[in-house]
Amino acid sequence: MSLTNYGMNRRHFMQHMATAAATVPAMNFLSHVQANANVLKSSQKSCILMWMGGGPPTIDIWDLKPGSKNGGEFSPIDTAASGVQISEHMPETAKVFSDLSIVRSMSTREADHGRGRYYMQTSYVPNPTVVHPSFGSVVSYEIGRNRKALEIPAFVSVSGGGGQAGFLGMTHAPFSVDSSGRIRNEPSEDSRKRLPGRLSMLQEIEAGFINSRRGELPAAHKDVYKNAVNLMTSRQMAAFDAEKADMGLGLDAESDATRDAYGRNGFGEGLLMARRLAQVGVPFIEVNMGGWDLHAGVFDTLKNQRLPQLDKGISALTADLKQRGMLDDTVLVWMGEFGRTPRINQNVGRDHWAASWSVMIGGGGLKNGQAVGATDADGVRVADGSKAYLPGDIWATVSHAMGIPVNTVHTSKRGRPMKLANGGTPIQELIG
């Protein structure tokens, strides 16, 4: 009998009555997890989105323009992928670039933070009549709900950000944790002990209201609580804590060497947590790295702060996933809401720019080690003869890699058909 299953019936309630509530041992209601643990498989598809809040200057990272007036201070270096060069401040990432790719001809039009973010994460431009789901919510809807053994929400957002579930419903909303894996309002020891008794009473009260013919909200409330209780008591929570080992779930306590490799900063810790979450079956993990809104002093900030962290994080994650045999099942996406102006402003900064910029994508069994598309010599437009890509094309590529049919159509709350990734097409060069 599982008390935490919360969908408990009357018989369970009466059984509870028979035992004194306060004496139900904590272990009793943890038992269901043991059964579920073994069901989890290691070869499940996941996507890790590295979200660069503020809009990263991709011209200084992935698509350098040496010799141009817009070129800036950095030089390109060769990578493990032949013919592909990236910034000199990304040397470790260059070494693993045969497993990564760049799409250099993004042209996305929205150069406002809010609108750009919405567009890149949903593939749709903001529209007053409908709220579109972020792609993490789409994955939660398409894949997460079929992972019955998964007790952590299917869309986890590390360190803020998150987007929204829109018409797919709040069940698919991002679940936020900070980079040390802390979740607000975890239960105290006392609360854990009393949970079974409390839930049995709650069940009684809620059932009456659900049956009172007032629409779907009362039952939806109950579902959320059920998920919250499952989460609180789940063994899978170990994924959030780098120091915890759970061999049944395939989780080690992370060594100092591993943690150093990812970087002892919010981004590195977030990526390490993302790998652990992918191991327990979370299909979409977003890791946020902010501080990209570089209207001033762009080169100093990049060289001294942003790029060293970025380089460590991306390279460690890629190597780690590969070594564990997870890389082909894990798609990596790196993007912000837009790129930054090729022109360098009077404050040695770069402003918002959506017309020609880069997104990085990798792993996921894609044909990696490529640079797809190109910008012109000054980086101000997509080069002649190069196809321009939209966010929907990136997410269609991710869908392809994760096994979500690209022709999937969802229905908005008002009954409007909504194409997956706004009808984008997987990028041919990447899917081979």
Partner 1 sequence: MAVLTGAEGIADEPGLATPPSQLSLSEFIDTNIRQTWTDNEIEPSPVADDEEWIRRVYLDMVGRIPSLEETEAFLADQNPRKRSVVIDNLLNHDDFVRNLTTIWTNNCIGRGQPRRVSRAGMEKFFREAFAKNRPWNEVVMDIITASGHFEENGAVNYILAQMQMQDESVQLTAMTTRLFLGLQVQCTQCHNHPFNKWQQSQFWEFNSFFRQVGKIDHRRLDPNTGRQVDDYSEVVWREYTGPVYYEKRSGLMQVAFPIFQGQEVDPGVGVNRREELAKLISNPADGQPPQIALAMVNRMWAHFYGYGFTRPVDDMGPHNPASHPELLNRLAFEFAKNDYNVRDLVRWIVSAEAYQLSSQFNSSNEIDNPSAGEIPMFSHMYIKSMQAEQLYDSLITASNAHQSGNADWSSQENQRRRWMQQFVVAFDNDENDEATTFNGTIPQALMMMNSELMDKACSTDRGSFLSEELASPGKETDKISRLYLAALGRKPSRNELRTTQKFIGAYGGEKLKGFQDLFWALLNSNEFILNH
Nearer CB in complex with partner 1: 295/322: 295
Q: How far is the CB of 266 from partner 1 (least distance, A)?
A: 11
Q: How far is the CB of 347 from partner 1 (least distance, A)?
A: 13
Q: Is 301 a residue that touches partner 1 (CB under 8 A)?
A: no
With CB under 8 A as the contact rule, the residue among 9, 34, 38, 191 that binds partner 1 is 191
Looking at residues 21 to 60 of the shown chain, list those that interact with partner 1 (rule: CB under 8 A): 21-22, 53-55
Q: Which residues pair with 77 in a beta bridge?
A: 86
For strands 352-353 and 339-340, give the pairing: antiparallel
* Per-residue binder mask for partner 1 (CB under 8 A), 413-432, x = binder: xxx-----------------
With CB under 8 A as the contact rule, the residue among 29, 62, 119, 175 that binds partner 1 is 175
Closest to 143 measured CA to CA, from 328, 5, 281, 326: 281
With CB under 8 A as the contact rule, the residue among 210, 319, 348, 380 that binds partner 1 is 210
Closest to 26 measured CA to CA, from 190, 247, 239: 190
Q: How far is the CB of 293 from partner 1 (least distance, A)?
A: 5
With CB under 8 A as the contact rule, the residue among 173, 261, 282, 344 that binds partner 1 is 173
Q: How far is the CB of 192 from partner 1 (least distance, A)?
A: 9
Task: Tell me how many degrees the CA angle 36-39-45 measures, rounded to the nearest 5.
Answer: 120
Residue 169: helix, strand or coil by DSSP? coil
Are 368 and 362 contacting, i.e. CB atoms less than 8 angstroms apart? Answer: yes
d(C-alpha 174, C-alpha 8), whole Å: 27
Number of residues that bind partner 1 (CB under 8 A): 71
Q: How far is the CB of 108 from partner 1 (least distance, A)?
A: 14
Residue 137: helix, strand or coil by DSSP? helix
With CB under 8 A as the contact rule, the residue among 144, 166, 197, 392 that binds partner 1 is 197
Q: Is 308 a residue that touches partner 1 (CB under 8 A)?
A: no
Nearer CB in complex with partner 1: 185/323: 185
d(C-alpha 51, C-alpha 333), whole Å: 8
Q: How far is the CB of 184 from partner 1 (least distance, A)?
A: 6
Exposure of 292 by Cβ count < 10 A (0-12 exposed, 13-18 middle, 19+ buried)? buried
With CB under 8 A as the contact rule, the residue among 80, 149, 183, 388 that binds partner 1 is 183
Q: Is 283 a residue that touches partner 1 (CB under 8 A)?
A: no
Are 240 and 251 contacting, i.e. CB atoms less than 8 angstroms apart? Answer: no
Residue 365 DSSP label: T
Q: Is 119 a residue that touches partner 1 (CB under 8 A)?
A: no
Looking at residues 327 to 356 of the shown chain, list those that interact with partner 1 (rule: CB under 8 A): 337
Report which residue type is found at 396.
Answer: A
Nearer CB in complex with partner 1: 41/221: 221
Q: Which residues pair with 331 in a beta bridge?
A: 47, 363
* Alpha helices (runs of H) in 51-156, residue ranges in sequence order: 91-95, 113-122, 135-142
Are 283 and 147 contacting, i.e. CB atoms less than 8 angstroms apart? Answer: yes
Q: Is 200 a residue that touches partner 1 (CB under 8 A)?
A: yes
Q: How far is the CB of 322 from partner 1 (least distance, A)?
A: 30
Nearer CB in complex with partner 1: 183/431: 183
Q: How far is the CB of 75 from partner 1 (least distance, A)?
A: 29
Residue with tokens 């009555």: 17
Q: How far is the CB of 128 from partner 1 (least distance, A)?
A: 5
With CB under 8 A as the contact rule, the residue among 67, 189, 205, 417 that binds partner 1 is 205
Looking at residues 216 to 245 of the shown chain, list those that interact with partner 1 (rule: CB under 8 A): 216-222, 224-225, 227-228, 231-232
| Segment (H or E) for 190 | helix 189-210
Looking at residues 82 to 111 of the shown chain, list those that interact with partner 1 (rule: CB under 8 A): none
Report which residue type is found at 345.
Answer: N
| Phi and psi angles of residue 50, each rounded to the nearest 5 degrees, phi first | -95, 110
Looking at residues 131 to 160 of the shown chain, list those that interact with partner 1 (rule: CB under 8 A): 153, 160
Q: How many CB atoms lie under 10 A from the CB of residue 7? A: 11
Which two three-digit tokens encode residue 275?
Answer: 């790998």
Q: How far is the CB of 213 from partner 1 (least distance, A)?
A: 5
Q: How far is the CB of 328 from partner 1 (least distance, A)?
A: 31
Q: Is 161 a residue that touches partner 1 (CB under 8 A)?
A: yes
Q: How many Cα atoms are found within 13 Å in the side-chain-facing hemisphere of 275?
A: 29
